[in-house]
Structure 1
Amino acid sequence: ILRYDILELATAVKPRCMKRLFEEGAEYVFYIDPDIVFFRPLEEALGMLGEGAMGVLTPHLLAPLPRDGALPDDRYILRSGVYNLGFLALSAGEESEALLDWWWGWLKTDCYRDPCKGVFVDQKWMDFAPVFWPQMGILRDETYNVAYWNLPQRDIERRGEVWYVNGRPMTFFHFSGFDPERPGILSKHQNRITIKPWMDLARLLKWYADTLKAHDYPTYARMPVLLPRFDNGVPVDPVVRRLFQEALEQGVSFADPLSTQGNGSFLEWLNERSPRDVSREGPPITRYLEQLYHMRSDVMRVYPDLFGEHRQGFIHWLFNTGRKEHDIHEAFLRPLDASPAPAPSYPGFNVASYLRTESGIGEAARGYVRALQRLRVPLVLNDVSDLAEVYRSEDESLNAPFAYDNPHPVNLICVNADQVPVFLQRMGEAYFKNRYNIGLWAWETPDFPEAWRDRFAYFDEIWVASDFEAEAIGLVSPIPVIKVPHVVEVPEVKGEKADFGLEGEFLFLFMYDFHSIAARKNPEAVIEAFSRAFHPDEPARLVLKSVNGEHHPEAMRALMGRAGDARITVMDRYLSALDRFKLMAACDAYVSLHRAEGFGLTIAEAMALGKPVIATDWSGNRDFMHVHNAFPVAYRLIRLEKAEGPYPEGTLWADPDIEDAAAKMRRVFDHPEEAKALGERAREAIRNSLSAEAVAQRIASRMEVIKQHIVKPGELPVEAVTDWRQRLRRTWHWGLGKAPPVVQPFLRRQGRRAKKLLKI
């Protein structure tokens, strides 16, 4: 009970039960999973036993599965075992007795689910059986153990009242992973096969679901599983069970593991400081907390140094998130005094940006504010939304006061490079004085404009959201360029197509802003791909959601000319933030055939909502989008033949392959369950890498460096001398005459100050 959960326990007792039946005189013993249905006698299996085989195993597969990204594949099967132990037959004899004794020897201690350690309950051990006992029979019959893992190789059909597999009467079907409340889905463990109503397989699944419900399945499904508890009422959770296993492996035993009386109890052992926590400083990382940490790969990625610099961050996650997600009993938090650990000491930030503006840079800035709040960094927010007057500024999601001063030692200025002179003119050079200045910049092509390079002189470092941006800007930057991804967190919303007048069709969605240059966003390519993918009579619709079309009338007219198809809806208006996410949640797939993206915020948001995404496989979105969680579209690189906005003639960007995009839109439409599974992987990927928690940890690591470079008025640390020499060289190299007039006085004063401090 302490060692295993209900599934592990149920599978661990197989060898003991089978041996008991042999001891009572059985000639043959069969183990059959409860989700198996027989359609004819086991003639082939009984024949093998009658001819001298000690037992019968059925392989998961009789031929390789395609290596195409769908699940299951051969590697997926390898992790759980070559043979499926939902069916096992043994005959009485010394060989079977020896096998059962060997099997039980392992299952009584190692019947748990941990494919990473090469263990999968009772099943994977049986890979050894045909090697250790050559008399073990392997039944390669396509009518046996038909299930989601081998259905790609087996055709199901019904002739009258008989079910057939590849033209032969089916022996038994294994409904592994099937939910009778969702009979249109074959199994929760696969995304390779999509059930269509006209398929005989759909009829089989419906029949099984109806049969279960007729035999009171809902009542049994709701029956609770009683969990063991310590004698003081503390429940035995999965963390406790795994640690009990570890204790036994280490030779640590307890007279009564569930007793908390006296010293040296199992509960007390769980709450001892981990032997690996050798620093003995700060709140203790107990055995329980360390095991919890190792059971959460996403938390491990965010806090890789558990016993060092990330100790406090992990404990902060534990109290703010982890305790709720894992329903952690307070008994396991008492070693931490049941109160959040004090946050690390970070310098305060002044965050300046378009904090109410409904734009990409505004949303990015708000995300960084949320990440800094997670770290409990002292913040002052300076809103300059009025400088972005071409955008609507009605986002109030920060729910925080704005200030005019910037008292903290670090400025985070989320304003693109081209707008830095405008920002400086508004805020004045005093805003930068005696501050560590960070610029958040976005750029979408490999070549950063030469005309903007004088802006580096105002900053100590630049933050960018992607590797693509880091490479483009880093190639010409004389100061550090640091990748700090955008925070991507979406609300829990339920999108209803009817709310937008779009019910009854499969929806493809693309969102963009005309201010972001329509030629780069490339909506015409989405229209063309959609038109090639679907016939006019198919229930598919493309929704083009845009804003600011009225400011770009020529581009808007061109779009409407291309979007004349009745199956295409153009929606050019602002929505509230909540309604925008509802629309995204209502769609069935998201498409972006962009030519270039610095990051790809709407792509990431759609993935965070669990949507299958079809997007150009180039530029910033490649940081988080790949073949395992999306449908990347092929492309070729081309040069711009004429300037488009800030992108001059000759700019390099992508030309997405329309045929490839159309094929992938078709695939999502034809295989919705596969697309849904891919969307769930996308949701997990975004949550792991782009949550406020994950981005906060990146910022925390960078702040350890920033703290060393914060300059007090009149002081300049020795380690900063090189930085200031570089800043002087930048100013002299570019020449003041190349800088905008508004910033020339600022650059002269910076140069005089550096000369004085460095005595040069």
Structure 2
Amino acid sequence: MNILLEGIFYNGHGLAEGNRNLLRILDQAGYRVRIKVRDPSDKYKVLHPKEIDYISSFESNSLPTNDVYLYNWIGSFARINPDFRINIARTTFETDRIPDSWVQELNKFDEVWVQSRFNEMTFTSSGVKVPLHLIPNFFDYRGFSPEGPALSLPITESFKFLSVFDLKKRKGYDLLLQAFLNEFSQEDQTALVIKLRDSRQTDIIEQFIHSHPKAKRKRPGIYIIDHMLVPSDIASLYRACDAFVLPTRGEGWGRPFFEAMLMELPVIGTNWSGHTDFMNERNAYLVDIQGLVKISGNDNPICNGHYWAEPSIEDLQRKMRLVFDNRAEAKEKAKAAKQEISQMYNRRETAKKVIYEIEKYRR
């Protein structure tokens, strides 16, 4: 079975990391793979030279036969490749449905892979008729251990909440900032560490903080990391903090939640969408939602008219305070969470699912 794998591979996005891991799964299973790269300009930005050499070696591979075309990227650009015998699309979306423009194209594929039960439901209800298969996110556990160096941070507070996101309304950063500033003060000796992708987004955060009615002298510390980190520094950042929080309005999978749980951080997240596959009341702190709200004026217009969750600020404050006040209990829950997800979502089990779906076409 010869496979053409298309998507992003080189940048710091979770989809790129997923494709790197999927490439390794396919390669180690003995398939001959060529990759079609959607992010060539990012080739030398974040990865180690050895990783770059490994990935780029697949760009020029020749395929003796055109067996499987595997598209793993944004659904907006998904198109079948008629030169290949089998066409598989793997994509995700974070609202209560997928864009209408995706449906006709996805139905031209032989099958579609989704990351979560949430997407099984939203793709089906949107009109995707071809077979859907649940393949959890591709993840390399090796770099994510709570043991190891912690990133040095210029923070004096004794307790640090961490949040990792792109500055999009979907991520609920407005709710996070409001809840943190409402609930905590300088007397609590707690800080919120925000990891953004680039410095062009910091002004929005700073303006939101400045507009909060709490007096500046009483506000708890909020610290922004606004540049890309290499994978090893991401793990070190998790080690430097005490809990993870993200009141997202919708996720297809929720990669930062998963990473934080592997790092044995207590995790606070919204009780809706893709991450509830692996987050529950036993292993995390789920934030109630007020309901689903219609999206309008969104930074991504393709979402307008859809619905997503509106997390409760009051319950978010309660959950953050609960973790802050009950640190030993929260840490025990976090340790149990790592054991649970490591058993259910380890790379070997995910690789079995991938190989099974491909091999059925050989059979």
SS at 2:186's partner residue?
coil
- The alpha-carbon distance between structure 1 residues 549 and 443, as it changes in their structure 2 partners (threshold 3 A), is farther
Which residue of structure 2 aligns with residue 127 of structure 1? none
Q: Kindly indicate whether residue 26 of structure 2 is the aligned counterpart of residue 375 of structure 1.
A: no
Which residue of structure 2 aligns with residue 621 of structure 1? 275
Q: Kindly indicate whether residue 317 of structure 2 is the aligned counterpart of residue 662 of structure 1.
A: yes
Which residue of structure 1 aligns with residue 70 of structure 2? 412
Alignment of 1:495-574 (within 5 A): 495-496=149-150, 499-514=152-167, 518-548=168-198, 550=200, 556-564=202-210, 565=219, 567-574=221-228
**Looking at CA atoms only, which structure, 1 or 2, has the larger radius of gyration?**
1
1:279-332 deviation digits (Å, cap 9, x = unpaired): xxxxxxxxxxxxxxxxxxxxxxxxxxxxxxxxxxxxxxxxxxxxxxxxxxxxxx
- Residue identity opposite 1:558 in structure 2: I
Which residue of structure 2 aligns with residue 443 of structure 1? 93
Which residue of structure 2 aligns with residue 463 of structure 1? 113
Partner Cα separation in structure 2 for residue 373 and residue 531 of structure 1 = 48
RMSD: 2.4
Contact in 1 for aligned 2:68/2:84 (Cα 8 Å)? no
Partner Cα separation in structure 2 for residue 613 and residue 560 of structure 1 = 25
**What stretches of structure 1 of length at least 5 have no aligned partner?**
1-346, 422-428, 709-760
Alignment of 1:159-558 (within 5 A): 347-386=1-40, 393-396=45-48, 397=51, 399-400=54-55, 401-404=57-60, 407=63, 409-420=67-78, 432-475=82-125, 476-490=127-141, 491=143, 492=145, 494-496=148-150, 499-514=152-167, 518-548=168-198, 550=200, 556-558=202-204
Partner Cα separation in structure 2 for residue 477 and residue 470 of structure 1 = 10
Partner Cα separation in structure 1 for residue 43 and residue 175 of structure 2 = 25
Contact in 2 for aligned 1:468/1:619 (Cα 8 Å)? yes
- Residue identity opposite 1:607 in structure 2: M
Alpha-carbon distance, 1:668 to partner: 1.3
1:362-415 deviation digits (Å, cap 9, x = unpaired): 1221222233345343333332213xx699853344634132456251122112
Which residue of structure 1 aligns with residue 213 of structure 2? none
Contact in 2 for aligned 1:639/1:649 (Cα 8 Å)? no
SS at 1:604's partner residue?
helix
What number of residue pairs does the alignment pair up? Answer: 344
- Residue identity opposite 2:279 in structure 1: M
- The alpha-carbon distance between structure 1 residues 699 and 433, as it changes in their structure 2 partners (threshold 3 A), is same
1:94-149 deviation digits (Å, cap 9, x = unpaired): xxxxxxxxxxxxxxxxxxxxxxxxxxxxxxxxxxxxxxxxxxxxxxxxxxxxxxxx
1:492-550 deviation digits (Å, cap 9, x = unpaired): 452425x1223552110111123xxx110011111122223323211110011111452
Which residue of structure 2 aligns with residue 700 of structure 1? 355
Which residue of structure 1 aligns with residue 297 of structure 2? 643
- Residue identity opposite 1:402 in structure 2: F
Q: Which has the higher contact order (CA 8 A, sep 6+)?
A: 2
Partner Cα separation in structure 1 for residue 262 and residue 158 of structure 2 = 22
- Residue identity opposite 2:196 in structure 1: S
Partner Cα separation in structure 2 for residue 576 and residue 530 of structure 1 = 28
Contact in 1 for aligned 2:290/2:309 (Cα 8 Å)? yes
Residue identity (%): 25
1:589-648 deviation digits (Å, cap 9, x = unpaired): 000100000110111111111111000010000000001111111112232352311444
Q: TM-score, normalised by structure 2?
A: 0.87
Contact in 1 for aligned 2:112/2:133 (Cα 8 Å)? yes
SS at 1:500's partner residue?
coil
Contact in 2 for aligned 1:639/1:650 (Cα 8 Å)? no
SS at 2:84's partner residue?
coil
Alpha-carbon distance, 1:457 to partner: 5.0
Alpha-carbon distance, 1:660 to partner: 1.3
Partner Cα separation in structure 2 for residue 607 and residue 689 of structure 1 = 13
Q: Kindly indicate whether residue 250 of structure 2 is the aligned counterpart of residue 596 of structure 1.
A: yes
- Residue identity opposite 2:131 in structure 1: P
Alpha-carbon distance, 1:680 to partner: 0.8
Contact in 1 for aligned 2:246/2:269 (Cα 8 Å)? yes
- Residue identity opposite 2:338 in structure 1: R
1:664-693 deviation digits (Å, cap 9, x = unpaired): 111211211111111111111221122211
Q: TM-score, normalised by structure 1?
A: 0.43
Q: Kindly indicate whether residue 320 of structure 2 is the aligned counterpart of residue 674 of structure 1.
A: no
SS at 1:371's partner residue?
helix
Partner Cα separation in structure 1 for residue 119 and residue 206 of structure 2 = 32
- Residue identity opposite 1:699 in structure 2: V
Alpha-carbon distance, 1:563 to partner: 2.8
SS at 1:568's partner residue?
strand
SS at 1:382's partner residue?
strand
1:228-282 deviation digits (Å, cap 9, x = unpaired): xxxxxxxxxxxxxxxxxxxxxxxxxxxxxxxxxxxxxxxxxxxxxxxxxxxxxxx
Contact in 2 for aligned 1:441/1:463 (Cα 8 Å)? yes
**What stretches of structure 2 of length at least 5 have no aligned partner?**
211-218
